[in-house]
Amino acid sequence: MSVPNIVIDTNVVIAALRSKRGASSKLMSLVGTLKFEIHDSVPLILEYEDVIQRQRESVGLSQNDVSALIDSLCALAHHHEIYFLWRPSLPDANDELVLELAVSAHCDYIVTHNLADFKGVKKFGIKAVSPREFLQIIAEV
């Protein structure tokens, strides 16, 4: 039985950094455990880094902590180059890079807190789910 392939939206990473008690933190703690596979691209990693850097002091991270986190995510993810853009497909243009990665990587799920922003991903065979929903799917809640 294969494990689900997912793209983790930036808001989930930030939520995990803000609170160690929520579903986002639980999800991030399971990265690398082979319960699911994560996928990334250069644009997504750059977005992760940019957003975390801007909020690093409020979540108690140093520059080195941010670099270590980004390096860890890169080491644990399957990397993809995006050759085809599906724009515009989503209400928020800033989310297009997440969808394009999910399509390119043949992912099953986009894990996000902004479900409304990912309406329409079903036509690509992808389901947008919250961290809690995904944890239920993999029987971790």
pLDDT category of residue 7 using cuts at 50, 70 and 90: very high
DSSP-assigned states of every residue in 24-83: HHHHHHTTTSSSSEEEEEHHHHHHHHHHHHHHTTTTT--HHHHHHHHHHHHHHSEEE---
Q: What tens digit of pLDDT does each residue of 117-128 get? A: 998 899 999 999
How far from the centroid of its chain's Cα atoms is residue 3's Cα?
A: 16
Q: What tens digit of pLDDT does each residue of 66-95 get? A: 999 999 999 999 999 987 666 667 766 678
Please tell me the pTM assigned to this model.
0.94
Q: Does the domain at residues 5-137 carry the CATH identifier 3.40.50.2300?
A: no
What's residue 1's pLDDT? 63
